[in-house]
Structure formats: structure tokens, C-alpha cells
Amino acid sequence: MTILNLNSYMKRFFRAYKELGGWDTKDMFEPKVREFFRLLEPSYTYGEGSKEDAWKSWSEYIGNDDNASLYFKAINSVHQFTQKSECAEKDTNAK
């Protein structure tokens, strides 16, 4: 997603994240969304590299599997950039 497109979606991403119970502030959220796309978009959108490795990098960056899944679900609910994540589903169903 280009920076221009990302900026136009940011408020909607944040609103969806909060509706799902996300706890990060807007100031914390925006840089994480940019990192989300940097880490996940190549494998999830373009099939470049391993989805599992991308998810692991994302989850480690966030530091919490629940919050990593919330970001994924919020962003994907506003702008579906990929098929449903097996990793995000697995983490969510493990509760």
C-alpha cells in the first residue's frame, strides 16, 4: 500500500482496532501500522517469502500475539490486503 493510500486509511484502521478492543494510542498505532505493511505485505499480498516468518516477525515486533492479531483483523477488515491469516486465526483460537 502506498504511503498516500495508507494515510487515507489510517483513521479507519484505528477506529476498527479500537472497536476490536485494541489498547494502543493513536500515536503508538500509526508507526506500528507502517511496520505492519513493511513486514507482512510482501508475503501476504505478493507471495514473496514465508507468511509464517512474516507473522513471526510482526508478532515479535508488537511483543504480544493478541495485539498483533488485533492489528491484523482491524486492518484486514477495512482493507483486505490478503486472504484470511492462518497465523492470526490460530493465535486467536488458542485462547
Domain annotation covers residue 20: no
Distance CA 90, CA 25 (A): 26
Q: Is residue 88 part of a domain?
A: yes
Helix, strand or coil for residue 67? helix
Mean pLDDT value of segment 73-79: 91
**Is residue 6 a part of any domain in this protein?**
no
Cα 4 to Cα 9: distance, rounded to the nearest angstrom:
9
Between these two residues, 34 and 88, which has the higher pLDDT value? Answer: 34
Residue 57 pLDDT class (50, 70, 90 cuts): very high
Number of domains in the chain: 1
Q: Would residue 2 count as lying in a domain?
A: no
Asked if 68 and 91 touch (Cβ cutoff 8 Å), the reply is yes
Residue 89 lies in a domain: yes
What is the average per-residue pLDDT within 42-70?
92
Q: What is the 3-state secondary structure (H, E, C) of 14-34?
A: HHHHHHCCCCCCHHHHHHHHH
- In a domain, residue 15? The reply is no
Give this prediction's pTM.
Answer: 0.79
The domain of 95 spans 30-95
Q: Does 87 fall in a domain?
A: yes
Domain membership flag for residue 25: no
Alpha helices of the chain — where are they, by DSSP H? 3-19, 26-46, 51-62, 65-78, 86-93
